[in-house]
Amino acid sequence: MSPLKLFAGLFCLLGALLVYGYAHAGFTETLPKATFLLEVGFVQANINNAWDNEGNLGPIIDEIKRYEPGGSLQGIIRPNVEARYLILLNLLQYGILDNLSLAVGIPVVLETRVEPNLEWEEGDYQWTLGRPYSEKDFWEWAASMGQPKPGNWSGNQGKLTDMPVGLRYRFTDGFKWFEKNDLACAITLLGALPTGSPSDPEEAVATGTTVWNLHFQGEFGVHISIDKSFKKSLDERLIVGLDLFHEILFRHTYVVPKGTKNPLLLNFQPYAGDTYTIDPGDFTGASIQVDVVPWKGPARGTWLSGGSAERAAGFPPFVTVSLRYTYVHLGQTDWDSDSELWDWDNREEDWRPGYKNILFGMVTISLLRLGIPLQPYVSYRNQSWLPGKNFRVGNALTTGIRIPLKFW
């Protein structure tokens, strides 16, 4: 493997880092007309492993073998990369109609940190030294040519990611057959405003804040969803939903690294050209979700319900547990520069078609029935428990709170 793979200027971290979506109880839920829902969440995502082309879980970057010009092995660099994103997620939803909602997300990166954790395995005996190269020998040799040993990197503090936007329309409202059978269907359109920043091409290990860097959704997508509830038979304590989707990412142009900070590792411009483009593979998949209400909680007549306990009983239940499984097929990602060899060997080979198996769980506490307009929640998203192929594993823990608002 080429050592350039370790020091890619884009260092993409597949992670689905932002747990974004309208439905916090079912895939077809919308807000009541003229109602706002403000959500503030804190996301911590860790990326330490990757699923390879054979479906094996290993390090993000493969080992790198270094050879002498004469052919003997200098040694092996073993990167044990650990990366972390801390993101403040701000999401505002608005009910345009009872069955039509709009949402806009404003995620702000608090910090991104990447630790290469480079280990060294000694190679062959070197007669010029009287021993094999040590790690110190190797990096001193690199430093003599202006190449520092890559250390920890942190950045992106206060930067926006690409902003997710969405529109959901539940088109089965008013149809008696759907109401009779406790069924609801909706179409959701998702997009991303280009407010994020690409990574610095001259940094050895760095990542940006675009949709491509985060890989949590496409730049435009369509979701078709159906929910089955059990209003009478199970007292509205269970919702089973299915969501089918296709999301695309558009081709973008980036600057080829020139090696101004890392002359041995990132000097690609002489053969790859001044710029290159990336056309990421699209996402196609499906989700199955189960929402269970273990406790509805008391319903009290408060100022939120106009003093009516009966009306308060129509508010969200006190505790809702949501469990979701998502399968995502990943298409081939295409690089295009002046060098086809650079495109494949250092980029496209690692981004061949693959798939994700994602597990997601969330517990939501709603205090509306008690007269308190707050809904705290905690969620966890995992991509390492079930096997996958050709993507970096990102596991994310999110804690947050939702505040419903109505001004007229």
Q: What is the DSSP string of 40-55?
A: EEEEEEEEEEEE-TTS
Averaged confidence pLDDT in the chain: 90
This prediction's pTM: 0.90
Largest CA distance in the chain: 89
Is residue 219 over pLDDT 90?
yes
**pLDDT given for residue 18 in this prediction:** 42
Between 33-42, 57-66, 316-325, the lowest mean confidence (pLDDT) is in 57-66
**pLDDT given for residue 21 in this prediction:** 42
Backbone angles phi, psi at 339, to 5 degrees: -125, 110
Q: How confident is the model at residue 189 (pLDDT cuts 50, 70, 90)?
A: very high
E strand map for 144-237: 153-155, 163-170, 183-193, 220-229
Superfamily of domain 3-405: monomeric porin ompg (2.40.160.40)
- How far is the C-alpha of 112 from the C-alpha of 199, rounded, in Å? 11
Helix (H) or strand (E) holding 140: helix 135-143
**pLDDT given for residue 69 in this prediction:** 75
**pLDDT given for residue 401 in this prediction:** 97
Q: Averaged over 49-61, what is the pLDDT?
A: 90
Tell me the chain's radius of gyration from C-alpha atoms.
Answer: 25
| Highest averaged pLDDT of the listed ranges 67-71, 146-150, 213-217, 278-282 | 278-282
pLDDT tens by residue, 289-315: 999 999 999 999 999 888 999 999 989
Q: How far is CA 164 from CA 24, 116, 167, 218, in A?
A: 16, 30, 11, 9
Q: Averaged over 170-176, what is the pLDDT?
A: 96
pLDDT tens by residue, 65-95: 888 877 889 899 898 889 999 999 999 999 9
- How far is the C-alpha of 8 from the C-alpha of 276, rounded, in Å? 13
Is residue 23 over pLDDT 80?
no
Q: Averaged over 143-169, what is the pLDDT?
A: 93
Q: Averaged over 7-31, what is the pLDDT?
A: 56
DSSP state of 143: H
Is residue 10 over pLDDT 80?
no
Q: How confident is the model at residue 20 (pLDDT cuts 50, 70, 90)?
A: very low
CB atoms within 10 A of CB 363: 14
Is 5 in a helix, a strand, or coil?
helix
Half-sphere exposure of 253 (CA within 13 A, CB side): 3
Is residue 240 over pLDDT 80?
yes
Q: Is 23 in contact with 30 (CB distance < 8 Å)? A: no
Q: How confident is the model at residue 17 (pLDDT cuts 50, 70, 90)?
A: very low
Please, what is the end-to-end C-alpha distance for the chain in angstroms? 62
Is residue 16 over pLDDT 80?
no
Domain ranges of the chain: 3-405
pLDDT tens by residue, 342-398: 888 768 888 899 999 999 999 999 999 999 999 999 999 999 999 999 999 989 999
